[in-house]
Amino acid sequence: MQNILVIGANGTTGRLVSKILRDSSDFKPFAMIRKETQKPFFENQGIETRHGDLEGDFTSAFRGMDKVIFAAGSGGKGGDEKTIAVDQKGAIKAVEFAKANKLQKFVMLSSMGTDNPSKIEGLEQYLESKKTADDFLRESNVVYTIVQPGGLTDKKGTEKVELAHKLKKMGEISREDVAHTLLYALELERAKNTSFEVVSGNDELKQSIKNYK
């Protein structure tokens, strides 16, 4: 059983990730929370928590962890300062702490559009911050997978996707399918040291990630 730190656990996608990990036979989730008031939600589901604030020092949350899923994100809300603090600086610190604590793998939830942030009006700073953090992870010598989904929806997951390094088109995907994608990417050799874009499609999710080079 591997211990997985879920950063951004209290977000919509993070909660799904934590629940799916809890129900797996291979992983035990630890939800990183910023406020004590967030603790009961996870305790009631049998999920342990670790305290940590992306805008502070949260290295203690990594102790005893095997791998990490970074699912935090401002979503472009709260202004440029908040976006940089969470999506860029917070993510970079998480990579540094993962390296310092010798974690086996870092799975990053990013976004489509990071290759050209200026193309999507209103999300330029968000995508630029994501790109900076992704690039830092790529150069960190930490084993990683970067997942770049299309627009997130709250639809029921199907585990049917279209996945490629670059899809050359926009699309949507359910948060539930993204959560499963992050889980499957935890496997050490699966999609190792690479990134991919993913939207809803017709291919089996688990097989697509397993076969991805």
Contact 171, 58 (CB under 8 A): no
Element (H or E) spanning 208, and its range? helix 205-211
Kind and range of the H or E element at 160? Answer: strand 160-164
Is there a catalytic annotation at residue 126? yes
From residue 66, alpha-carbon distances to 1, 35, 38, 57, 169 in Å are 10, 24, 23, 19, 35
Long-range own/partner contacts, residues 29-32 (CB < 8 A, 24 or more apart): 29/4, 30/3, 30/4, 30/5, 30/6, 30/61, 30/65, 31/6, 32/5, 32/6, 32/7, 32/8, 32/58, 32/61
Q: Which residues are catalytic?
A: 126
